[in-house]
Structure formats: structure tokens, C-alpha cells
Amino acid sequence: MKKVEAIIQTSRLNPVKEALQEVGVDGMTISEVRGHGRQKGHTEVYRGNEYTVDLLPKIKVEIILPDSLVDTAVQAILKTAKTGKIGDGKIFIYHVDEAIRIRNEERGDSAL
């Protein structure tokens, strides 16, 4: 099993979610997060004062998948989250040792 974690632009959430559902991803966790990469934020002016916004709003999508579905899910995210501009985000893939469904104590892929 693998955990796929994607940090994407807020505007790309619905297309990513729909693409993942189309390839058979049943469950996911979505979080609103803040951060920056190479773009380092930007400056804004409010009531005549200039200030730096260095933590930009992003969306984190977390999914746990059987190994056989990982490449398909990653391709779906890449296809729908990519705009070609700085700030598109990142995808991280982690190994998951175990998954346990609390309701009935199923383990492994069947718990997903």
C-alpha cells in the first residue's frame, strides 16, 4: 500500500477530485493548508501599507491506495492539477505498512 499526498492549487481541487473518482479512488482526505515553495509568496498593499504574503493557501489531498492503483492515480493528479506555472504543487508517495478499518478491524487492502 502507498500513501499519495498531493499539494495543489485551490482552484484545481474539483478537477483533481473528479479525475480520481473516475479512475476508481473511493476515499480521500482533503485539507486546507498554507505554504510556499520556490515562488516565495508575493507582496500586497492594504490601506497604503505594503506587506508580504509568504504562506499561500493550498489544498492537500491524501489518499491511501493499493500498489496497483498508485500510477493511475498519480497520472490523474498530474493531468488535472498541472497548469505549467510556478506554484502547481507537489506529489509525495509514501509506503504504508498497515491499514486497519476501525469498524470491523479489517486489515490491509481490504481496509481501504
pLDDT digits (tens, 9 = 90+) for 81-109: 999 988 899 999 999 999 999 999 999 99
Query: Who has greater pLDDT, 55 or 74?
Result: 74
Examine the pLDDT at 56 and tell me if it is beyond 90.
no
Q: What is the pLDDT of residue 41?
A: 64
- Topology at the third CATH level for domain 2-111: Alpha-Beta Plaits (3.30.70)
Contact of 102 with 15, CB cutoff 8 Å: no
Across the chain, mean pLDDT equals: 91
Determine the distance from the C-alpha atom of residue 81 to the mean position of all C-alpha atoms in its chain, rounded to a whole number: 9
Across-strand partners of 92?
Answer: 5
Q: For residue 109, count CB atoms less than 10 angstroms from its CB and return exposed for 0-12, middle for 13-18, buried for 19 or more.
A: middle
Q: What is the pLDDT of residue 42?
A: 64
Mean pLDDT in residue range 37-63: 80
